[in-house]
């Protein structure tokens, strides 16, 4: 079925485009439903539901955040800068140690 688009008016072309867009959306939905049905059948063959396989049925607990640790070290030059002793050492801590300040003097 060939359509000669050159003989169609602008109004007819616009309607044709709208009809084509509508049909494409409906075709996508039909194919999605077919794929979903096939996936459900494949999962059922192995004794699962799609929710179980996709993780929607049971949610795993994510990594829980730790409570913020109390500071154990304080920058003598800027008392607002503290460090809990966990994780990467801050630059001010490295600088103080490099300048000969003992760790004990930095402790709170």
Instruction: Summarize pLDDT for 17-49 with one digit per residue, the tens.
Output: 999 999 999 999 999 999 999 999 999 999 988
The answer to whether residue 59 is domain-embedded is no
The answer to whether residue 67 is domain-embedded is no
For residues 108 and 80, the answer to whether their CB atoms sit within 8 Å is: no
Overall number of domains in the chain: 2
Is the whole model's pTM more than 0.75, yes or no? Answer: no
Four-point Cα dihedral 48, 52, 53, 56, nearest 10: 160
Tokens 């801050």 correspond to what residue? 90
What residue numbers bound the domain in which 17 lies?
10-54
For residues 107 and 93, the answer to whether their CB atoms sit within 8 Å is: no
pLDDT tens figures, 70-98: 889 999 889 899 999 888 999 999 999 99
């Amino acid at each position: 079925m060939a359509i000669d688009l050159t003989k169609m008016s602008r109004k007819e072309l616009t309607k044709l485009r709208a009809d084509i867009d509508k049909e494409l959306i409906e075709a996508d939905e039909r194919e999605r439903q077919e794929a979903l049905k096939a996936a459900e059948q494949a999962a059922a063959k192995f004794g699962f539901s799609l929710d179980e396989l996709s993780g929607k049925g049971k949610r795993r607990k994510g990594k829980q955040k730790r409570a913020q640790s109390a500071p154990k070290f304080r920058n003598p030059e800027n008392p607002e800068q503290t460090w809990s002793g966990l994780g990467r050492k801050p630059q001010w801590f490295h600088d103080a140690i490099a300048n000969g300040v003992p760790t004990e003097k930095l402790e709170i």
